[in-house]
Amino acid sequence: MPGGKWHQPLYTPYALYATVDYMYGWPAYESGNGFTLAQGSLNVLESIGYLGYLYVFCMHGEGQWALVEGQRRSIRGGWGGLACLLGFSVSLLTFSKTVLYALNEHFSDYRYIGHNSFSRLVLLWILPK
């Protein structure tokens, strides 16, 4: 949040986003809305899942790293199954969170983004998501 300990210079661009989506700004914070903390918890799980996939890919993959035609890196056996499960599960979590953001706005009567013009909403809220 603007004025916070880590705001400048690390999160200075984020101040603009907090004016577009009040869910991540002072209005939600002051009302005690817990959605952002719940979302952050899911973000941690999502990141752990992607790191797990990357670990399996790097440590148990076979083949070349180069992205040259005819050369591929693959994961076989049980590790391959785990990689597929992790990749699919975490991708589904990412997709579900994106749908949740849109549904949350719709069912809350656009309380947190309804103050924006359409062009500002497209440029600063829809496209980045």
Higher pLDDT, 65 or 74: 74
Confidence of residue 18 (pLDDT cuts 50, 70, 90): confident
Whether the ω angle into residue 9 lies within 30 degrees of 0, i.e. cis, is yes
Mean pLDDT, residues 89-106? 92
pLDDT digits 0-9 by tens, 53-63: 999 988 888 87
Q: What is the pLDDT of residue 53?
A: 93
- Percentage of the chain lying above the pLDDT 90 cut: 40
| Distance of alpha carbon 127 from the chain centroid | 13
**pTM given for the model:** 0.75
Mean pLDDT, residues 96-122? 91
**Is 87's pLDDT higher than 80?**
yes
Instruction: Let me know: does 46 contact 93? Beta carbons within 8 Å.
Output: yes
Rounded to whole angstroms, how far apart are CA atoms 85 and 60? 15
Rounded to whole angstroms, how far apart are CA atoms 63 and 77? 15
